[in-house]
Each structure stands twice: as structure tokens, then as C-alpha cells.
Structure 1
Amino acid sequence: MLLPLGWLARCAWLARRTRGRQLDMLALVGESAPEYGATVVDHGVPAVYCLPGRHSRVVVTRGALDVLSEAQLRAVLEHERAHIAGRHHVPRVLADAFARAFRGLSLARHAKDQTSLLLEMIADDRALRYHSRDALATAMCEVASGMAPQGALGAGGSGAVIRLRRVLTPQPRPHRVTWLGILAATVAAPLLPLLVACGP
């Protein structure tokens, strides 16, 4: 029990320290862009990413501003804001700590990778509420080569090919019976231990 907790504390501290260094660097080289709610960095490689946490920041490079249309830029910015609003850095730290504490387990390595991919998909879905599939997919392609710094969440992100296929393929809406089943299971799940405990 102490080993996972120790790794969790260490991973949380390392992530916070890394984000702090990135924020310090942005204070020196970044330029505020209130019209986008972001910080612009003079770098030729197209990249869009966010630094989550208490002093969160969305960062856009000049290269991204040069290649993205207004619609594409707005879509990818919404993706990054979804990471911040959803506090996606927290499950990433948890998955990282789990992977480090149990290095020998392939499950731990896969859990870390799949957590990152799922968080990117959640952010994609949030962006698709307000922006077109084409705008988001094109923006993802344009910034795929731009690597986000350590401690940041980038729009290029993990599993880009899987995400692109998912973004460009409309998902069928679940049937009403499916929704009712999910609702019933959600209500029944907390009551199941009580029913088992009170049974004969």
C-alpha cells in the first residue's frame, strides 16, 4: 500500500514542478493573446497544448497560427480547454503512478497508455459539441508533428490515427432502451451491496 502511495506523491510533485518550470518559461517567451484566451509562442512548428492545474494556460505556436484556419484554431482551442475544465491531468498522474509502482505488470503500462488516449477522446468529444468534425480533424493533422512539452496535454496527443478515424466517423446514437438500461444499472449498482448484506 505504501509503495503506490509513495509513487503517487512523487508523480504529483514531479508533474507540478514540471508545469511550474513551463509556466516560468512562458512568462519569458510567451505573448498573451486575449482574443484566443491563449499564450502565443514564437516557434515555427505548429503545436497547440495546455498546461493544466491551478495556473492553467493554453499555448499556441506561431506555426499553428500560420497553418490553421479560424475554425480549426477555435476547434483545437476548445479541445485544450476541455482538458483544463475536466482536470485531465489528475487521472494522468494516477495512471503514471500506477505504472511506476507496478512496472512488471503489462496491465499497468497499458493502463497508462489507454488513459491518455481516453482523455484525448473526451476532449475531442467536447470540441465536437461546438465545432465541425472536419475543422477538428484537419487541425489535429496540422498540429500532429508538434510535440507538447513534458507535463502538458497536446492536441496532437496520443493515438492520433485512432482519434482521427473516430472523429471523422459519426458515432450512432444509442437506442432509448440502451439509455434506460444504463440508467437502471446506475441506480441499482449502489443498492446491490445493501441487498446482499440484508439478504437471508
Structure 2
Amino acid sequence: MLTLVGEPAPEYGATIVDHGIPAVYCLAGRRARVVVTSGALDVLSEEQLRAVLDHERAHIAGRHHLLKILVDAFSRAFRGLPLARHAKEQTNLLLEMIADDRALRHHSRDALATAMCEVAAGRAPAAALGAGGSGVLIRLRRVLAPQPRPHRVAWLGIVGATVVAPLLPLTVACVP
């Protein structure tokens, strides 16, 4: 259906759909595609567009749609559990953050943040993963003000605890 309504844009590796509201999203499947609306082309600079396209390609490469399907099924199967609702919300947010991190490997923080703001109002189809949508404010804060990396001593402590924790019950069991 996308082939009927969209126009291929090989220079972007995406399909352009004539729609005034800026939106960029990916549709997973056998022939995964990134979709860009004409509204997004009007408001995004070349660097911003490339950043958001890399964000969407990260979803496809990471097969995020499979995890999203599993979490959606879990939340439908256990509608009454708050855990199921929270798992769906938080998993979607984490998948978006992973894609943001991938896009930041090749693009500036400003380019990605501005692109996220521009496409935040655009809505992707229910089955799609989009650069905008819910959680944009949390992601923007994270992109624009990254947390400092933990100190080397903290990393050594985490590694040490990871090694010692499984050995602790064995040590307690072996002491007479």
C-alpha cells in the first residue's frame, strides 16, 4: 500500500508520503521501510533529516519491532496488571533511546534534538516506530544533557560485584 501512496527517494533510502504534518517513522517487515512526510522535508535541514533517518534505521537494524510486538502481547494478555502497562511504556521509551544513541554516533546532539522537536507532533501508525511521539521530552533532556560516564572506580566496583555475587552463596555453603 505504501508503494501506491508514497514516492521512493533513493537518495534518502526512504519513501516520501505527501502529508503536511512532519513525521518520520519506520515500518518493519520483510521489506522494512523508512517513511518521511513531505511536511518533514519542508521543516528539517539536511543534517536533521539524516540524523532522524539514522534513528529510524537503527530501529530496523536492531529489530526493535520484534521486542515491541512481544511487549504489546504481554500488555494485552495481562491488561489488569500495572506491570504490563509500565513494561510497554518503558520498553518503547528505551527502544527510542537506543535508536537515539545510534543516531548520535554520526550526528550532532543539536541536529537530532531539533529534528525530534520538529517531528514530535507527527503521529506514526500504530505498528510503526517513530522519531516523535510520547517520551520526546525525556529523550530530549537525555540527548541535550547527557549524564557523565561513571568513574573508573565505580566501573571496577560493578565488575567486582558482578563476579563476587554468584560466588557468595557457594562460599557461605562451603564454610563449616
**TM-score normalized by the length of structure 2:** 0.90
Contact 1:140 1:156 in 2 (8 A): yes
Whole-angstrom distance in 2 between the partners of 1:62 and 1:180: 49
1:120 to 85, 96, 99: 96
Whole-angstrom distance in 2 between the partners of 1:60 and 1:141: 15
1:77 to 41, 47, 53: 53
With over 3 angstroms needed to count, the CA separation of the structure-2 counterparts of 1:63 and 1:104, relative to structure 1, is same
Residue by residue over 1:85-129, the C-alpha shift from the partner in whole angstroms, topping out at 9 and shown as x without a partner, is 111111111111111111111111111111101111111111111
Contact 1:120 1:157 in 2 (8 A): no
Matched position secondary structure for 2:150: coil
Determine which structure has the larger helix proportion and give its number. 1
CA positional deviation for 1:167: 1.0
Which consecutive unaligned segments of at least 5 residues does structure 2 have? Answer: none
Aligned to 1:43: 19
CA positional deviation for 1:152: 0.4
Structural mapping, 1:157-176, within 5 Å:
157-176=133-152
Residue by residue over 1:2-51, the C-alpha shift from the partner in whole angstroms, topping out at 9 and shown as x without a partner, is xxxxxxxxxxxxxxxxxxxxxxx211011111111111111111100001
With over 3 angstroms needed to count, the CA separation of the structure-2 counterparts of 1:180 and 1:40, relative to structure 1, is same
RMSD of aligned alpha carbons: 2.1
Which consecutive unaligned segments of at least 5 residues does structure 1 have? Answer: 1-24
CA positional deviation for 1:187: 5.5
Contact 1:49 1:58 in 2 (8 A): yes
Whole-angstrom distance in 2 between the partners of 1:44 and 1:174: 43
Q: Which amino acid aligns with 2:55?
A: H
Matched position secondary structure for 1:49: strand
2:129 to 121, 129, 153: 153
Q: Which amino acid aligns with 1:84?
A: I
2:64 to 73, 76, 88: 88
- Percentage identity across aligned positions? 78
Contact 1:116 1:158 in 2 (8 A): no
Does residue 61 in structure 1 map to residue 61 in structure 2?
Answer: no
CA positional deviation for 1:74: 0.6
